[in-house]
Amino acid sequence: MNKRYLAIAGYLVALALIVVSIVYFTTPADHLPTLFPGHDIASTKTHAKHGLAAILLALGAVAFAWFQGGPSSPKEEQRGPNSDN
């Protein structure tokens, strides 16, 4: 698989995790979607720890995408994109 596709996928996963973290920080547990961990009908508190975990996972996905988007070899970086060598 092309590294560029992996980088794009990493950034998309990071974006989705940031949206999930915003939902955890702003929505009480009784209004969370049922597929989210922490959904509880009887609770009205927010899940800050779940939101923090989603942010940390998003940072990990950004780091993964960052490293996948770099040059494919050290020689390519030294020569530059328009070099004839």
The per-residue pLDDT for range 38-52, each reduced to its tens digit, is: 777 777 777 888 899
With a cut of 80, say whether residue 81 has pLDDT above it.
no
With a cut of 80, say whether residue 60 has pLDDT above it.
yes
Q: How far, in Å, CA of 36 to CA of 2, rounded?
A: 32
pLDDT tens figures, 2-50: 888 999 999 999 999 999 999 989 988 888 888 888 777 777 777 888 8
What is the 3 state secondary structure string of 48-63?
HHHHHHHHHHHHHHHH
Can you give the pLDDT at residue 4?
86
Q: How far, in Å, CA of 73 to CA of 62, rounded?
A: 20
Can you give the pLDDT at residue 84?
58
